[in-house]
Amino acid sequence: MKKTKARRLNLKHEAGYWHGRFMAMASPCEVLMEVEDKKLAARILEAVMAEAQRIEKKFSRYRDDNIIYQINNANSAPVKVDDETARLIDFADQLTQMSEGLFDITSGVLRKVWKFDGSDKVPEASAVNAVLDYVGWSKVTWQDQTLQMPAGMEIDLGGIGKEYAVDRCVQIARSLTKESVLINFGGDLATTGERKNKACWSVGRLITGKDNAVGLFQLNRGAIATSGDAHRFLLKDGVRYSHVLNPRTGWSVPNAPHTVSVAAPTCVEAGMMSTMAMLQGEQAEEFLKLQEVDFWLD
C-alpha cells in the first residue's frame, strides 16, 4: 500500500453538505458536496484539488517547467504539443475566428505596457504600438499539433484555464458520486447536477467596487462565470481604462462593463461568453441579449 503523509483537508460539514476549500490558480476555490459520507467528500475534494493543481501547473505562464514556458521561449522554433494543450489551442483558435480577432491568446504581452494598478499611468501610444508587433494570432502557424510563432511573442491560456479546470472537475466529481457537487474556482462555478428536493446552490456574487459578496446566485444546474475585475483599472482625466484590452488596437476597450456574469451549460461556455461580452465594450449588453443567455451586468 502507498502510504502518504497525512495532509489536512479544509473540509467542514454545513447544513446538508460538505464544504471543502483550498487555494489554486491564485483564487479561493471551494467544493460543495451534497453527500453524507465524509470519506467520500474527502475523496472528491482531493480529486478536485489534484486536478486544479495539475491544470495550474501545466498551463500557468508563471512557471518555467511547463508547455507554456516551452512555447513562449522557443525563439521561433516549432513546438509540438500534447493532445490536451492542442485541444485548448484549437478552442482558442476557434474563439479568435468567432470574435474576429477580439479574443486572442497572444495578447498577454500588452501587459508589459499596461499595468492596471489603479493609478493614472496610461501608456504612451508609441509604447503600445511597439508591443503590438508581438500580438496577433494570425502571425502564428498552428497545424499538426505544432505551434510556431515569431520570437518575442507569447501565448497565455489563463483566460480559459480556470473555466476549463471547473468543467474538468465537474466531470471528475460526477465519476465519484451521483449526488450534486458544486465547484467554485474564484467565482467561476458549475454544478454536476440537481440537488435533492429541488434545492439550489447559493453562491455569493461579487460586484464591482464592493469587497464582499452582494446578492446570491441561485444555481440548480449548469454553470455561471464572471469576467471583470473591480480592482484592475486605470483612471486618468476622469476616464476609466478597464483591463480588457483590444488586441487589434492594443488599447483598453472603452466603456466595458465592470463585471459580466453569464449562465451556460458549461463553465467554459459561460466564461468565454462573458469574456466576449466584455470585449464588446458598450455593446456588451446588446451582444448578450443576442446570444439569448441569462446574464448579469454591472
| List of residues contacting other proteins (CB under 8 A) | 1-8, 12-13, 15-17, 39-40, 42-43, 46-47, 50-51, 83-84, 87-88, 90-91, 94-95, 98-100, 102, 164, 167-168, 171-172, 175-176, 196-197, 265-266, 268-269, 272-273, 276, 280, 283, 286-287, 290-293
The answer to whether 66 touches 114, Cβ cutoff 8 Å, is no
Nearest by Cα to 265 from 166, 162, 178:
166
> Closer to other proteins at the Cβ: 154 or 167?
167
Q: Which DSSP category does 187 fall into?
A: T
Q: How far is the CB of 151 from other proteins (least distance, A)?
A: 29
> Closer to other proteins at the Cβ: 65 or 286?
286
Q: How far is the CB of 87 from other proteins (least distance, A)?
A: 5
Q: How far is the CB of 135 from other proteins (least distance, A)?
A: 18
Q: Which three cell numbers stand for residue 175?
A: 465519476
Q: How far is the CB of 146 from other proteins (least distance, A)?
A: 19
Q: Which three cell numbers stand for residue 154?
A: 507569447
> Closer to other proteins at the Cβ: 42 or 130?
42
The answer to whether 45 touches 62, Cβ cutoff 8 Å, is no
**What CA dihedral angle connects 251, 253, 258 and 262, to 10 degrees?**
-120
Radius of gyration of the chain (CA): 20
The residue whose grid cell reads 525563439 is 75
As a whole number of angstroms, the distance between CA 165 and CA 99 comes to 23
> Closer to other proteins at the Cβ: 130 or 200?
200
Q: How far is the CB of 170 from other proteins (least distance, A)?
A: 9
The answer to whether 201 touches 220, Cβ cutoff 8 Å, is yes
> Closer to other proteins at the Cβ: 49 or 206?
49
